[in-house]
Amino acid sequence: MSQIAFAEDVFTWPADEPQLIGSRCEQCAAHTFPSQGSCPRCGSLEMARHLLPRQGTLWTFTTQGFLPKEPYLGGETNETFQPFGVGLVQLGDEIRVEARLTEADPEQLRIGMEVRLVIVPFRSDPDGTEIMTFAFEPVG
Ligand SMILES: [Zn+2]
- Domain segments of the chain: what residues? 3-8+54-138, 20-53
Distance 52 CA to ligand 1 centre (A): 17
Give the per-residue pLDDT at 60. 97
Average pLDDT value for the chain: 93
pLDDT digit string, tens, across residues 30-73: 999 999 999 999 999 999 999 999 999 999 999 988 888 877 77
CATH class of 3-8+54-138: mainly beta
Cα 28 to ligand 1 centre (Å) = 4
65-116 pLDDT, tens digit each: 888 887 777 778 888 888 899 999 999 988 999 999 999 999 999 999 999 9
Global pTM value = 0.90
Give DSSP secondary structure letters for the chain: --EEESSTTSB--S-SS--BEEEEETTT--EESS--SS-TTT--S-EEEEEPPSEEEEEEEEEE-SPPPSS--S---TTT---EEEEEEEETTTEEEEEEES---GGG--TT-EEEEEEEEEEE-TTSPEEEEEEEEE--
Question: Ligand 1 centroid to 47 CA: how many Å?
Answer: 8
Report how far ligand 1's centroid is from the alpha carbon of 48 (Å): 11
φ, ψ at 123 (rounded to 5°): -160, 170
CA–centroid distance, 36 to ligand 1, in Å, is: 11
